[in-house]
Each structure stands twice: as C-alpha cells, then as structure tokens.
Amino acid sequence: MSTGKINVQTENIFPIIKKFLYSDHEIFLRELVSNAVDAAQKLKTLASIGESTAPIDKLQVEVIINKEAKTLTIRDNGIGMTGEEIEKYITQIAFSGAEEFVNKYKDTTAEANAIIGHFGLGFYSSFMVARKVEIFSLSHKEGSTAVRWECDGSPDYVLEEGTKTGIGTDIVLHIAEDSEEFLEEYRISTLLTKYCKFLPIEIKFGTKREFVGGEEEDAEEVVEVGKDKKKKKDKKEKKEIEVDNIINNPSPAWTKKPADLTDEDYKKFYRELYPMNFEDPLFHIHLNVDYPFNLTGILYFPKLKKAFELQKDKIQLYSNQVFVTDSVENIVPDFLALLQGVLDSPDIPLNVSRSYLQSDGNVKKISAHITKKVADKLEEIFKNDRKDFETKWEDIKVFVQYGMLSEEKFYDKAQKFALLKSTDGTYSTLEEYAEKVKPVQTDKDKRVIYLYTTNVDEQHSFIETAKNRGYDVIVFDSPIDSHYINHLEQKIENTSFVRVDADTIDKLIKKDEAQPSKLSDKEQETLKPILESIVPKEKFSVVFESLSEKDAPMIITKPEFMRRMKDMSAMGGGGMNFYGSMPDMHNLVVNSNHPLISKILNEKDADKQKQLTKQTADLAMLSQGLLKGEELTKFIKRSVELID
C-alpha cells in the first residue's frame, strides 16, 4: 500500500467544488458515465489495431445502486488503469486542474457550466455528491495487477493493490447525507435517460422483466378441414423472463448515413426523442459536415400553431453523443429554436458559458451553416413538389416569416419560396404576386397596393367590395404578421400593404378618376351633426366619401397606421408600446352617393330621422363586430319594431 498527498494549497477541495457546482450537481453522473464509455471505446480502438487482446464482444457500462451501503457504482469493462496510470490521470492531471479552479474561483461566484471539464474536473465532480470515492481497476495490459484508490476529497489519498478480477474500472461513490436522492432508482434512471440516452456503448441499469413467446407455431399434428389438410397451429406459452435494462440507444439515427435510413426510420427516431409528442413532423434535415468543423444531426419541422407557444420539445445539443443542453439559444439563431431534433458537435465544449458561446468562432460558423442548410432544404422541397409545399405552408409560415425578419441571409434565400395566400386559396411567391396585382392595384402615385385581411369572416364585406373592383386580397393571420408586413414594405420597392377595412376601397387604391358626390358640401354640413350625435365622439370620426351606389351606406374603418402600431405593440416590438395604451379610433364613413343617405337628409320627422341614422350606423358597427351589450340589445329591439 502507498499513500500520498496532492500538491494543492487548500486543505479540502470537496466543499469548494460543492459550493460552486451545487446548482448543477446532477452533472456528476454524466461525467462519470461518459468517462466509462470512453474507456470502453479506447479498448475497442486498441483491439482493432492489435494492441490489446482483451475481449470486446460485450462492452458495457453498468450503474449500480446499493442502498444499504449507500453507494453508487459506475462500472465499465473497458481499458482499465494501472497504479501508475491512476497516479498520473487521477492525482496529478485532474488535481492540477482542480488547483487552478480553486485559485481562480475561491473568492468569486461563477456559472456552474463554465467549470467542469474546462478545468479537468470531470472525475472530481463526483465529490459534489460523495463523501468518499473509491476506484477499483484492472488494466487490459497483460500481467497487470489490480489496484484500489481512495480519497475523501482532502489532499490525502490511498493507493494499494486491489482484488478486482475483471478488466475495467469501478468508480464507487459513498453518497453524502445531503445527496441521498442519488440512491433512488427513479432519480438515477431519469438522469441516465436525460444525459446518456444516446451514448455509443450499452449502459445497463438493473434488470427488467419481459414477456416472450405467445406467437403461433406449426405443430407436427395434421388435421383435415373439408378436403384440405392443414397443419395444426399451436400457441407458444408466454413466459416472463428477466433481461438487462439497457437505457440507451448506442446507434441513434443521426450517426448513420442518410442513404441507410427510410422516412419511417426518421419518424421512429423523432418519437424516440419526444415520446409525448403524438404528431409526426412535417419533414426533416439530416446534417453531416466534417469541414471546416464537425457537425452531425437531424432537425425536424414540427407543425407550428398560429399562436406562439413555449416550445417544450426543444433541439437537443450533444457532444460525441453526450447530452450537453437543450438551451441552444446561443448556438442556433432564434428562429431555428422553433425546430426540433438533435445537433452533435465535438467542436462545442461540454461545459461553457453563454458569453463564450456568443463569441466562439466555431459556434458562429455552425449557426450560419445550419441556417443555410435549412433554407436550402425548404427551397428544394418547394422546387421538387410545390403542391406538397403549399399544403404544409400554414404549418411552417410562422417559422419562415420569423427567419426572414431576423436573418438577412435567410431572407435572401426565403424570398424564392415564401408564399402569400389569397382569400380564394391560391398561393403565390413574392415575385409572382407582384406580377399578378401590379396591372390592377397600382394607384395614381405608381405604388402597388397589397390588400390584406386578418380575418376572412369578420372582414368579409370589405373583401367582397375589393373583389367587385377586380382586386385581390391576401390572408395575413399569423401572430407576427404586423412586423412581417413592415419588413416586406421596406424590402419591396414602391409597395404598400393596407388592411382591406382600413378605409373605403377607392381610398385604399386611389385612381385618377374620382366619383362625383350627390350631396353638396352644404348638405354634408347639415347632416354631419346628426351623424355625430349617434356615435361616441372620442371613438369615431365622421367622414363623407363619394362611393358607388352599390357600396354600403355607412362603413366603419380603422386607419391602417394606428391599427398596425397597436398590433405591433401587442406583439411587443419596435418601441410601439406607446400606441398600445391609446384608445381605438375608427372612421364612420358615410357614402354620400347612397340613396339611404339622401333619404335620411330629406326626412322631415326629427325622431324618425335619428332612428334611421342610428339603425344604419348600427348595421355598419354590427358588420365589424363593434355592436355589443346594451347597444346590441336596443338594435335588435328596434329592428323587430321596424319589421312590424
């Protein structure tokens, strides 16, 4: 037996490690299991080049709980260590990193994720949950002697000959009183599933019971059925057996070649990633890059709802199949966070700070590459099967719009496949739509006017009026459309977007020819006070327009600028919060050419004139959903009286 002292200045590294890593102390299991997997893979490599004769047919990592002894063991049958290797890799290298950590962080606070691994502390993360750690190891090298190492987190350790008979290493954690949650099977099972679900070596955690048999098999006995002779079918008896509980899939889909996978394989892997998501994804992108950085993965396009929802099934980031995080905000652009799937890159360190991610060159390159691949995939689907792409558009348009708003390079590519949907259900690209409406919807100032609706049912009368003029109306009903419209106006020259109910149709698209008014200015001045008396002045402005006799006698409109500013304020963007607190303002547009308006003007009975005016204005409000409560009740009662 030999003893030694680690050359560090502090008397006990354990409480310091625990202090600074406590918020993330479950990470110890990932570190220790990852180390065990590495040991198994190293043995496989040495065997493949003829430098080891140890068996590699059943490489495995096992996690064992002993509640009575209060120990948690991580066992592997990998490369193992000699006494000299334990001295080198456990006491010298790891503790020198630990010393650097102590000197740097003993008087400060730091992000937990910036510490483990970065300072060579992977193994020593075990002291976050253990009062004492033992190592039992036997090297694969011929003639090696088993060794045992022990340390309680102080600079003192014991290294002696051990009794282990099988090649590999056991890390035995004597769990501390305040960490006994890690002796619970459910807790360990959850962590193994979270961090080790796709590690490349089998990970065993206890056993489970399975039923086998029960299927039919041919028996020797032959029975006659009519004229036919048939073998009698016997049913095997179903038996319950005990099998290893393997918690991981060592060969996940993203590690395979796309040519070796079917669409069903991709869907199966999606369900493996998100077992509680019962909807299949729309499509996927398989990433496989080895220059100028290493990146593999599969990204899925889920069906996005029109309303933004907190994405519970996020992109998962791995490093060599070791789970790192599902907070990928600093690794992929914000709009890509709406996707799901897996990214795996050894070029992204296991434990790094957010500020590091934002400034790291590899991370920026990875982000740009993923953006390009996503845009290329969408363009490919659009070109190869436009009809199928159009059927998926409603599910992906929020994603595409968000990308066009937030990433200039994505906009440049996406304008080729971003679609505009008309109220008749047809789809057009931005370029196609411009060509479609330019001849008809260009106003007298040579600006092309894009009419749109946010609700086909509520704005139906305005849509029909526009159609009667030969105009087209786009449907914009996603939560970010107000921002998207502003962005398109900046990008597309000589173009304005106006909601179809923002004004009368002839004012939305002004032409050179103007219709004459049947009411003189004096007659309009006579009628205006009567109209103003039946609507709240603080909410409505009365204006006269010389429209077609076929148009409604009165129309309620909401000015485009004010409505759009309020919509953007509701979405929380662009310093528009001021507009959100302002009251809604509408225009009561009076059609001076409609016969009913002339009838109101010429009505001699003041009460009847007011009643007729009120009824007409209420009809306009009803068409916009503005008639509610007591006013709606009065309108219904008045309508019944008029019918009688």
**How high is the pLDDT of residue 323?**
86
**How high is the pLDDT of residue 192?**
95
Would you state the structure tokens that stand for residue 370, as one six-digit string?
């993923």
Fold of 2-206: Heat Shock Protein 90 (3.30.565)
Q: How far is CA 631 from the centre of its chain?
A: 45
Single-letter residue type at 242? E
**How high is the pLDDT of residue 342?**
94
CATH number of 516-559+582-644: 1.20.120.790
**How high is the pLDDT of residue 436?**
95
**How high is the pLDDT of residue 107?**
52
Residue limits of CATH 1.20.120.790 in the chain = 516-559+582-644
Residue limits of CATH 3.30.565.10 in the chain = 2-206
With contact defined as beta carbons under 8 Å apart, do 336 and 370 qualify? yes
Residue limits of CATH 3.30.230.80 in the chain = 253-392
Cβ neighbours for 374, distance < 8 A, ≥ 6 positions apart: 285, 299, 336, 339, 403, 410
With contact defined as beta carbons under 8 Å apart, do 107 and 19 qualify? no
CA atoms within 13 A on the CB side of 187: 12
Q: Which parts of 99-212 are beta strand (E)?
A: 130-138, 147-151, 156-161, 168-175, 202-212
With contact defined as beta carbons under 8 Å apart, do 214 and 235 qualify? yes
Q: What's this model's pTM, rounded to 2 decimal places?
A: 0.74
The DSSP line for 576-643 is: -HHHHTSPP-EEEEEETTSHHHHHHHH---HHHHHHHHHHHHHHHHHHTT---HHHHHHHHHHHHHHH
The DSSP line for 201-264 is: SEEEEEEEEEEE---EEEEEEEEEETTEEEEEEEEPPPEEEEEEEE---SS-GGGS-GGG--HH
Residues of the chain with pLDDT under 50: 9-10, 22, 97-98, 101, 105, 108-119, 219-223, 225-226, 310, 352-354, 580
With contact defined as beta carbons under 8 Å apart, do 127 and 98 qualify? no
CATH number of this structure's domain 253-392, picked from the four choices 3.40.720.10, 2.60.120.10, 3.40.50.150, 3.30.230.80: 3.30.230.80
Consecutive H or E run containing 295: strand 295-301
**Pairwise CA distance, residues 510 & 302, whole Å:** 43
**Pairwise CA distance, residues 524 & 274, whole Å:** 66
**Pairwise CA distance, residues 482 & 486, whole Å:** 6
**Pairwise CA distance, residues 164 & 345, whole Å:** 36
Q: Crossing angle, helix 386-406 and helix 481-491, to 10 degrees? A: 80
